[in-house]
Amino acid sequence: MAMREAELTEQLWGDSAGAGVIFVSRVQHLEFSLACRGLVCVSRDRKPNTLVQVAALDVCEQSLLAFSSTEIVQGTRDPLFLTGVAFPPQCPILEETVIKLSVYDVKDKSANNSTFLGSATFSVADLLKSRDQQISLNLRSSDDLEAVGTVVVSRMKMGEIEDGEVDHMATDIQAQKCALVCESLHGTTNDKDYGPLMSALFKNPVCKVYRFQTLDSKWMLVREQMAESTLSFTIPKQLITLHIQEDSRRIQELKDLGELSPHWDNLRREVISRYDQVIRSYQETLEELDKLTGPSFKPSCSKAQKYLEFIPINLHTQRMRVTCPRKTDAFYDIITVGAPAAHFQGFKSGGLQKLLSRYESEKKSYSTAYQCIYYSPEQTAKAREVLGSLSELQPLISSLADRLLQAAQQRSVDALRDTLKSLAEKTEQFVHALKDELVKSALLALHAARPGYISKTQTHTPPPLHLQTEMPQTPSHTGAEPDAAVCINMDEVQTPNKEEQLAAVTLERQDSIPHYKEYDEEEWDRVWASVAKSLNCVIALVDKLQEQDNNNQESTPDQALADVITSHNPSEWREQLSPLVASLKECVTEVGDRAQKSMTFILLQEAVCSIPQGLFLQQRRDVVFSQALSALACGFVMRLYAGLEDKGFLQQLHLVGLVAQFESLLSTYSEEIGMLEDMETGISDLNRVTFRITEAKSDDPAELQPVVSGRRDYYTVEIPLPQQSFQIIPPELQEGKPLQIFPVLFNVGINEQQTIAERFGDISLQERINQRNFEILDGYFKTLSDKVPSECLPCFQTQMDVKELLETLGQNVVTKKRKNVEILWLAGTICRRLNGIRFTSCKSAKDRTSMSVTLEQCALLRDEHQLSKDYFIRALDCMRSSRLAQGEAAQWDDPEAGSVANHKPASRHFYPIALLLVSSHLLVVWLILSLVFLLAKYQ
């Protein structure tokens, strides 16, 4: 996992394109491999199971700190360890630093039963100054009386070739060594430009290095790096701030509705009160988050903390870098994160999918109880879309109108033409956004909610018979209290005629309150059309002025042209345009004000219908979306940084967009069903997100943080790039073109709870999710094939066509097969072939996630880098090794610990298949016996 090291920001790089090894004053990142020779056990006839613990001497504190360990190599006196030792950037190594190696014989790993064999110490200077940077040390026993073997320490050098039959690193060709850049010291020339980016967004990297043998008996070097991301907190905090601003605007819009009947005024007060509660809750959460310091991730043990509910669980970046003999380095990225879900709120009533479905089915009855008009989810979404368009287009039209007058003042024909074109385009968008029957019907409902409103047909036409049954019985005497508007189901009455609409919202006239004038439905059409008419007048006058100017220039002799131009009053054009432009702005303002109030009234009625549940569902959705967007932003940034020099990738990015494939390992049993329902909704909501690339003001880390803007229905994430990186991307990206993301989710439960669900429960949720997202992935590939040449996609050793992979995936998602992990493998492979972003999740992004990631990494080494079949299991065990023999776990193994944790029980995750089969059958037997016992007990 080759991430750009943080220390690169502190170094001054030179031009190393044609240079050899770059030398620095101090060693900040040291990596070496280990091997032992001639180990002697207490029992001379027994071959040891060897493990080496590595510790470094803290020069300041004068104490040894346990740092890492190798894997256990069983049954040999001459073990060769595949796991190397890597000191990360935050642990700077000086030449005077002393490193201690302690060798143990692990007799029983599960019982933590091990015997100390011997130890050796060396300084970093000894290793660096030795021949070929390799030293052999004698191991001394605890009493320091005898040698118990030797340990060989070899400096790891990315890019060099190893001889498959020897146990140490050796260079075959001296010329190749000169062209080498030691990645453990400096990084590579390919990623040196990303130093400021990576150090700004990714913190506390933890590294591990391995050496594995290939099929041709050469050695490949594998470097893993896991890091935290500052986006775990910065993205949620920005979203919470946006939610507070949006809800505050909604309160102001409700207040701006003006005078309403007592019934609606009381409901408005109640809705405003609930919005105030949500705002206060979000403000308290934001204050608590601002106080936090320390790690840049939320551990799974903090799921129950309310103020952390917006933060994703265990969000980490995982990068594997592979260096093979005479081959270009390869990078494989994956983002690991706990399932985006409302863990604090719990799952007793299910997840978002079930709760939203239940809410929509009950909203009709709520609308009747509160005497509201029922609006479908599509209609309320349209209302929010109209409000968003108004807030964006109305000030833009006003600004363009002022620029048009300024161009007229300067008599600049080109500026006048360009500004008029932009003004016409934005005005047409404005008019089109309001060309909807929903706006007209909402205006009618708003007028009906005014105090003392009387319709045209109240004294002329009685309500239709089918609506009379729904209308409340109101007293006929003067001075009676007004009743509210009648409930109309907008889904059932799609196109009511004029009489039905007016009868449905009839209010009893009262003499004691002011009366509003009769509502004229055609008035909105006239006001709305006046915008287009005003624009046409402006266009006609501009054309006339330009035509007159052209005629004057053609009819005037050249020698007198200058005099004619200077003789014209410079403000003549502006004076002629000003009345028409002012009329256009007034029409836009009036139409915008009416439309805004009508759409706000729709949202008021939606909020009223949610009174029984408050804003619980919206808050839950905010929480889940915050976690999902944090993970997506982290993955997008990683993928963008890795592809800045890939022209094919950048072309795909702006022409089509990227696919973001979420791999979920949740079961469809118990509370994980609710998690999966939350996760499905959160990932689906990511369709509302686009990305834009901007140029950063400086290389300061604060200036390189992504910025989120927008509202709940549409968000934009701006990714700042340093000037040097920004200049190499295509013009389309530099201009800020919105970049689309296509999120897809595939889930296959793999734990014992999924076994119960498949045998006795319901897995229809998983099947529906997989089938639906396959259709999205298939549609994305078809679009990509039409717009982007195949040469833009990455090349792999396994040349199976993406179309064939999709066909196989399509067959698997409809096949009834238990724990069909082939779905996940195919989806992940397709994602990598399409330059996509990979995510892996389970409940907490720990056990199941780590098993999936390590298996995928070893499979990539086997399929793409010719990992020897004899080394596959060993490589898997090395990557899954989670503790030292004597019970001290390193930071890499438990990212939640934050530091070295002592005496944790051993954990084995790689079970034999036979044991799993036996366990599943025993589980079935136990369930049957329990059922028989319960039946016998209650008979």
As annotated, the active-site residues are 842
Question: What is the token pair recorded at 721?
Answer: 């790039």
In angstroms, the CA 177 to CA 837 distance is 35
Provide the edge-to-edge strand list for the sheet that holds 113-123.
63-69, 50-58, 98-108, 113-123, 134-140, 147-155, 31-37, 85-86
Adjacent-strand bridge partners of 108: 113
Q: Are 610 and 617 in contact (CB under 8 A)?
A: yes
SS3 call for 442: helix
In angstroms, the CA 456 to CA 930 distance is 72
Alpha carbon dihedral 533, 535, 540, 542, in 10-degree steps, equals: 160
In angstroms, the CA 340 to CA 239 distance is 15
Q: DSSP assignment, residue 271?
A: H
H-only helix segments in 61-194: 124-129, 174-178, 183-186
Question: What is the token pair recorded at 561?
Answer: 């042209």
In angstroms, the CA 136 to CA 547 distance is 91
Q: Are 338 and 842 in contact (CB under 8 A)?
A: yes
Q: Are 223 and 32 in contact (CB under 8 A)?
A: no
Nearest of 570, 573, 575 to residue 417 by alpha carbon = 573
Contacts of 914 (CB under 8 A, 6+ apart): none
Question: Which amino acid belongs to residue 674?
Answer: G
In angstroms, the CA 872 to CA 860 distance is 11
Nearest of 388, 490, 391 to residue 440 by alpha carbon = 490
Adjacent-strand bridge partners of 123: 98
3-state secondary structure 883-939: CCCCCEECCCCCCCCCCCEECCCCCCCCCCHHHHHHHHHHHHHHHHHHHHHHHHHCC
Map tokens 């005014």 to a residue.
Answer: 450
Q: Are 740 and 692 in contact (CB under 8 A)?
A: no
SS3 call for 378: helix
Q: DSSP assignment, residue 485?
A: P
In angstroms, the CA 49 to CA 262 distance is 83
Nearest of 898, 900, 892 to residue 226 by alpha carbon = 892
Provide the edge-to-edge strand list for the sheet that holds 658-664.
202-213, 219-229, 316-323, 330-336, 837-841, 658-664, 739-747, 689-695, 714-721, 707-711
Burial class, 909, CB count within 10 angstroms (exposed 0-12 / middle 13-18 / buried 19+) = exposed
Map tokens 């030293």 to a residue.
Answer: 135
Question: What is the token pair recorded at 3?
Answer: 């991430």
Question: What is the token pair recorded at 198?
Answer: 């990576």
SS3 call for 54: strand
In angstroms, the CA 334 to CA 329 distance is 17
Q: DSSP assignment, residue 374?
A: B
H-only helix segments in 88-143: 124-129
Burial class, 578, CB count within 10 angstroms (exposed 0-12 / middle 13-18 / buried 19+) = middle
Question: What is the token pair recorded at 260?
Answer: 């309403």
Q: Are 95 and 27 in contact (CB under 8 A)?
A: yes
Q: Which element (helix H / strand E) includes 805?
A: helix 802-813
Q: Are 85 and 34 in contact (CB under 8 A)?
A: yes
